[in-house]
Amino acid sequence: KCIPSFQDMDDYLKGCRFLPKLNNEIPGERSATYKERFSSLENLVLIMFENDIVVIPRETSWFGYYPDGAFEPVLPPQQTKLYQEDWIGLKALDEAGRVKFVSVPGGHLGISNSDMRKHIVPYLKDKPSASASLAATWHAIGEALGLMGNDVGVLLQSST
């Protein structure tokens, strides 16, 4: 039920508890706070995995999606209502040059250490909490990939 469908948008909006709310998709219930917080980000790095078979279409990693009433073509984020009406502040962030649309090879969450260093670490450097942020990021990725303590530690050490 947490997959938006032009065929049954009402079911999606009623059946999915978190995504419509976070994306400010519920008409009449759009949160100015969500938009304010999201648009206050220094940078937003959106990573699309080129061979993703979990997130469909994979362009949703960039907030792209199908047009209303069709399964193709996949619209780039700039052509979606979420972006054009700036429901979450994505348009404001993008127009300020603070959104990075990154595409990497591999399947869902299959980012390599070198791509992590190239696309994510630069935004964590020179921040007081950079080490903690990097550790938390690696830990979350490790958990998502089913890695355990030592494996996550190896990933973390190889990224610094």
Instruction: Give the pLDDT of residue 153.
Output: 44
Q: Are residues 30 and 92 in the same domain?
A: yes
Give domain status of residue 4, yes or no. Answer: no
Q: Are residues 66 and 113 in the same domain?
A: yes
Q: Are residues 99 and 151 in the same domain?
A: no
Report pLDDT digits (tens) over 31-80. Answer: 999 899 999 999 999 999 999 999 889 999 999 998 877 788 999 999 99
The number of distinct structural domains making up the chain is: 2
Instruction: Give the pLDDT of residue 112.
Output: 92
* Nearest CA among 47, 38, 28 for reference residue 89: 38
Give domain status of residue 3, yes or no. Answer: no
* Nearest CA among 146, 139, 144, 118 for reference residue 155: 139
Give domain status of residue 85, yes or no. Answer: yes
Instruction: Give the pLDDT of residue 12.
Output: 77
Q: Are residues 57 and 16 in the same domain?
A: yes
Domain that holds residue 60: 9-125
Check which CATH number belongs to the domain holding 100 and give it: 3.40.50.1820
Token look-up 């980000």 returns: 41
Task: Tell which wins on pLDDT, 34 or 144.
Answer: 34
- The answer to whether the pTM exceeds 0.85 is no
Give domain status of residue 1, yes or no. Answer: no
Q: Are residues 81 and 137 in the same domain?
A: no
Report pLDDT digits (tens) over 6-21. Answer: 556 777 778 887 888 8
3-state SS of the chain is: CCCCCCCCHHHHHHHCCCHHHHCCCCCCCCCHHHHHHHHCCCCEEEEEECCCCCCCCHHHHHCCECCCCCCCCCECHHHCHHHHCCCCCHHHHHHCCCEEEEEECCCCCCCCHHHHHHHCHHHHCCCCCHHHHHHHHHHHHHHHCCCCHHHHHHHHHHHC
Q: Are residues 35 and 100 in the same domain?
A: yes
As a whole-number percent, the residues of the chain with pLDDT over 90 amount to 46
Q: Are residues 141 and 116 in the same domain?
A: no
Instruction: Give the pLDDT of residue 83.
Output: 97
Report pLDDT digits (tens) over 110-131. Answer: 999 899 999 998 888 766 565 5
CB 33 within 8 A of CB 20: no
Predicted confidence (pLDDT) at residue 137 exceeds the cutoff of 90: no
Instruction: Give the pLDDT of residue 157.
Output: 43
